[in-house]
Chain A
Amino acid sequence: MKRGAFLLLAIPLLAWSQSSGEKVFAQSCATGYCHGARGAPAGAPRLAGRGFDQAYITNTIMRGLPGTAMPAFGTSLSRADLAAVVGYVASLNGIANPTVTLGPGPGAAGPAETPLSPEGERGRALFFDAVRGFGRCSTCHEVNGIGISVTTPIANIPADAAALRAISTPEVRTTTVDGEAMPALIVSRGKTRALFYDLTSVPPVLRTVDPGTLKVVDGSAWRHVSVIGAYNDAELASVLAYLREAIKSQ
């Protein structure tokens, strides 16, 4: 598909403001080692007054510039932020009243931004809490684009902390490699390679082995309760509240 076709499809027009654009630019682009404030040159080239056209600006921000340090922002910024920063860079290039159309681009939707309840917000902070190091939920679970997807996406949310502790995990199986048995989540078993997560310690380790050396039997002594000890009951309740809100909205 030609880029022109993208742009023709690319409705609706998105509202943006100079101040929101300047803010997103300051946080995501003018980061000292990259572009300078208000499009001045710094570690990365000057962006102000370069004569860029609207299509080039949109495409570069959405898809990045392969072969350079310029990343694709199409999948990592929200649509509102993308619209704001595209509009802002257009304004730096003398495009008066730019109309911003992002097109369907790769994954341009970005995470849904449904506001969370106060308890959900508390649970979100706990789920991703860096202070808990590898003890945080996101060491093994990915929600709304953050975290490590060791497990399949969370679908059934336990009713309370006790149920979360007692959750059954039949997908964890006892795997023996080189004479050592360990709890494992099998990812794939091909002809030449088998992939599995070794759950012996946190964080889980993705191992690649020769399938011939792998022995798998159902059942394991591994329990979910052994990896959520960083949270107390009240905290787990908040985490569950977060999951109910976040996963429903996905």
Chain B
Amino acid sequence: MRFLLVLFALGTACAQDRSPDGATHSDWPHYGGTQLSWRYSALDQVNTGNVKNLVPVWMFQTGDYAENLQATPIVVDGVMYLITPRIQVFALDAATGRVLWQYKYPTPRPGKPGGMTFLQNRGVAVSDGKVFFGTTDNFLVALDQKTGVEQWKVSVDDPRQCGCDITSAPLVVKDKVIVGGTGGDAAHRGYLTAFYTKNGRFAWRWYVIPGPGEKGHETWKGDSWKLGGGAPWMTGSFDPALNLVYWGTGNAGGDFNDEDRLVPGAKGKEANLYTASVVALDADTGKLRWYHQEVPDDLWDFDSAYECVLIDRPVNGQMRKLLVHMNKSGVTFVLDRVTGEFIGAFSTPEVQTWISGITEDGKLVGRIEPEAGKVVNTCPSATGAKSWNSTAYSPRTGYIYAPINEVCNDLTSTPTEANEGRFHADGGFTLKLPPNRTTYSHLDAWDPITRKRVWSMPYRYILLASVLATAGDLVFSGNPEGDFFALDARTGTKLWSYQTGAGNRGSAVSYSIGGRQYIATPTGWQQAITGAQLAPLFPDEHWRGGSTLVVFALPEVAK
């Protein structure tokens, strides 16, 4: 312990000179583990040799079965902070599950009917003695970390107007808490907003869609920029050495038809900036430093809102600060996170028809686009080769671990008028399983530098849970049948599995208290949106909902 403290002190002193440590240690302090979003724990008490002995040590039933339990638990100094879809926040003794305090959000303002507000919550952020979270009615709230008493609350937007809300975990960056919203598929102009952790006062807002006079505004037709979507609805990353915040942005709206939003002659070029992009913002001011648009003129609902994994790795013999980013299409971009320079890309689904390939400079080629009046089949589907559930990265193997689904869809494209706050998909999708397969997903290990798939564990249904990697060379995830399992991080061999009793659609974490390593996973299959949309593809299965956190450790005697 003393040794670790010395290391931390050194790390603080020379933060400018060393690559940041993306691993978690005894705590799980941020949504993505650390602000580098590796979802990797440096704990190795549980490892490939003893994982077979792993047993459940406590469980916590939230009692909120409105939707499944999607939140990533946050663990700080032996206390776990967990949030449910109806905004109940629990502080639990992370060694026993005993409730230290609980908070229940009052009845929220209703959302706009036909808007895109969701009964989901993917986690809290903890910093500055406070617990921060977004709500189904678009407030950002801060509780006292010790007591659970509300400290401040600020309205980010009115869900009755924008048809948007907050489902993602906020990201705390120094003295600010940054949060994005949903609503990219409702007619709405997406943004990120930063508030001071101390008192909730406004710090900055960055609109995904540039306003008149700003660069990029010219990529929008007419007034379409006002309601053009792009909501950054998941959680970003932060590089303290560069003082840059990284975030993925959502698709432009309407999703499946670009008639209203595409400038004439822009087909095949950058369009509708900065939707379906990865952006780097100055952490203090929210000013755009660079961007990379992954899916110009997105017509497949392949928004790029997912996690930005920040890693330092040699490329062609030279150490580079990289950002690895997968969007919903399963195409994964490797960028230089200092400049945004494109370094490489690879596509993860086995069945991919929406493009024929990606050029050496990162352009999508052979796009098969939805067309008004036709039904166009493309793979993967709008539910994503990967959904919002997160990948993991292990610095020991150098691999990104990703759950990938093999599902296609029939797209229709119907131009409709954008009405503020109303769903504005301009078409729809019907999910189809690709023919001649017996497995419809796989958990993969990818080397982001060689862009090679190292191993792949096929699964007969679909995978919608996040991945956790540990220094015990283990990869943890779960499936809709309720199995929470551990794989060998180097080979993909299944080493352990436990039936948790309900489908897995959550994000597991690891932490330690008093020298004992714990692995905690939320359970409960999603009853709406992606989970419910995919389930009917397998009509004989009945994946169970629920809202229980299951926590594992090695038996005391086996330590």
A residues in contact (CB < 8 Å) with B = 27-29, 31-34, 36-37, 41-44, 67-69, 71-73, 75-77, 128, 130-131, 133-134, 138-139, 145-148, 193, 198, 200-208
Contact = CB atoms under 8 A, between A and B. Distances in A.
A207 B200 contact: yes
B153 A28 contact: no
Given A148-B155, A201-B201, A41 B113 contact: no
Contact of A69 (B67, B116, B200): B67
Contacts of B158: 138, 146-148
Nearest to B227: A130
Contacts of A139: 155
A101 B474 CA distance: 59
A203 B202 contact: yes
B226 A130 contact: yes
Given A42-B533, A201-B201, A76 B151 contact: no
B423 A27 contact: yes
A71 B113 contact: yes
Nearest to A40: B430
Contacts of B30: none
A15 B422 CA distance: 25
Given A33-B116, A43-B528, A208 B202 contact: no
A139 to B, nearest CB: 8
Contacts of B111: 71, 76
A74 B185 CA distance: 24
Given A69-B528, A76-B110, A130-B226, A200 B201 contact: yes
B94 interface: no
SS class of chain A's interface: helix, strand, loop or mixed? loop
Given A44-B532, A147-B158, A67 B66 contact: yes
A167 to B, nearest CB: 22
Contact of B114 (A28, A67, A133): A28
B113 A28 contact: yes
B428 A37 contact: yes
Given A28-B114, A76-B112, A208-B150, A68 B527 contact: yes
Contacts of B65: 67
Contacts of B386: none
B425 interface: yes
Nearest to B226: A131
A146 B161 contact: yes
A41 B533 CA distance: 9
B384 to A, nearest CB: 13
A36, A77, A133: residue with the most chain B Cβ atoms closer than 10 Å = A133
Contacts of A27: 113-114, 419, 422-423
A203 B154 contact: yes
Contacts of A29: 114
B558 interface: no
Interface string B3-21: 0000000000000000000
Given A68-B66, A147-B158, A208-B150, A44 B528 contact: yes
Nearest to A128: B161
B161 A130 contact: yes
B150, B162, B528: residue with the most chain A Cβ atoms closer than 10 Å = B528
Given A31-B116, A44-B528, A198-B200, 6 more contacts: A43-B529, A67-B65, A76-B160, A138-B161, A145-B160, A198-B201
Contacts of A131: 189, 211, 226
Contacts of A73: 113
Contacts of B161: 128, 130, 138, 146-147
Interface residues of B, number: 47
A85 to B, nearest CB: 9
Nearest to B66: A67
Contact of B533 (A43, A146, A203): A43
A124 to B, nearest CB: 12
Interface string B123-165: 0000000000000000000000000011111111010111000
Contact of A33 (B110, B201, B529): B529
A77 B201 CA distance: 33
B110 A72 contact: yes
Contacts of B528: 33-34, 43-44, 68-69
Contacts of B339: none
Contact of A206 (B154, B156, B160, B532): B154
A191 B323 CA distance: 51
A76 B112 CA distance: 7
B112, B113, B211: residue with the most chain A Cβ atoms closer than 10 Å = B113
Nearest to B162: A130
B310 to A, nearest CB: 30
Nearest to B195: A205
Contacts of A76: 110-113, 160
A36 B412 CA distance: 13
26 contacts: A27-B422, A33-B529, A34-B528, A37-B428, A42-B533, A43-B528, A43-B533, A68-B527, A69-B66, A69-B67, A76-B112, A76-B113, A77-B113, A130-B189, A130-B420, A133-B205, A134-B202, A134-B205, A148-B155, A203-B202, A205-B152, A206-B200, A207-B151, A207-B152, A207-B199, A208-B150
Contacts of A37: 428
A145 to B, nearest CB: 7
B119 interface: yes
Contacts of B185: 32-33
B330 to A, nearest CB: 20
A37 B427 CA distance: 11
A71 to B, nearest CB: 7
B160 A146 contact: yes
Nearest to A75: B110
B536 interface: yes
Contacts of A130: 161-162, 188-189, 226, 420
A75 to B, nearest CB: 6
Nearest to B201: A201
A111 B202 CA distance: 31
A207 B199 CA distance: 8
A118 to B, nearest CB: 19
B202 A201 contact: yes
B133 to A, nearest CB: 15
A208 B152 contact: yes
A241 to B, nearest CB: 20
A206 B112 CA distance: 23
B160 A32 contact: no
B423 A32 contact: yes
A147 B109 CA distance: 11
A41 to B, nearest CB: 6
Interface string B411-439: 00000000110110100110000000000
Contact of B425 (A32, A41, A204): A32
A130 B187 CA distance: 11
A125 B202 CA distance: 24
A110 to B, nearest CB: 11
List of 10 A-B pairs having minimum Cβ-Cβ separation, nearest first = A28-B114, A205-B200, A31-B423, A69-B528, A28-B113, A206-B153, A27-B114, A148-B155, A208-B150, A201-B201
